[in-house]
Amino acid sequence: MTDASARILQSLREGVPLVQCIINAVVINYTANALLAAGAAPVMADVPGEAAELAPNASALLINLGTPDDEQRRAMREAASAAHDAQTPWVLDPVGVGALTLRTDFARELLRLRPDVIRGNASEIRALAGEGSGGRGVDATDGVEAARSAVERLVAETGAVVAVSGPVDLIVGPTGEARVTGGDALLTRVTGGGCSLGAIVAAAVAVSDPFAGAVAAHELYAAASERAAQGDVGPGTFAVRFLDALDAVTTAELASR
């Protein structure tokens, strides 16, 4: 898989996929910068009408439930439906699902539009599958392996690849599974650390199949975070250095992991 991830990173940087993001207001700027640093082209189109118009022409779509107000939920429905009809690959990031009822019910509604990848922490994935009550706000209170039965249920019910972030990431699809080790804990202390991963997954899926793309995105994220954390680094410095690292990670680095 590391060789495949290297090839996907090269394809991403050469192809510059257009990634439509309907994402929470807290992380819009950081996520756009993360996509640019990785080699993709972000477009943050979340206005009803425009969202549906863009989705069939985008390379991939990310829907992130971080701040799902009424207008944004309308745009998400429209974009996910348009992406489904046009076979534009799309990623669902069920931020905070389980902890709050509105977004939990809405996330389950979106599952009917068949995301290609579902990416979240263990508590979000368990809650989405109806096996838990969610974490503490957007933070996980469950370990990755505790979400295994929920992952398998979501894969079986939706056909999606399900990626669970943690100290060791778990990625499971209809035909196989992988674990991605490495990374740095400072990612959990930066606003947008998880949300931007969803966007990078969408960029990778735009140039590959969903399983290989999800694995490649997690490998790139781990490698970049390790680069960014070298030396005496706090969360503020890490946030900036992580963007630099997303740009600096080479295909040879991924191939050698």
Cβ distance 97 to 72 under 8 Å? no
Annotated binding site: 44, 119, 165, 192
Amino acid (one-letter) located at 137: G
Annotated binding site for ATP: 119, 165
Distance of CA 248 to the CA centre of its chain: 20
Parallel, antiparallel or unpaired: strands 41-43 and 60-64: unpaired
Annotated binding site for substrate: 44, 192
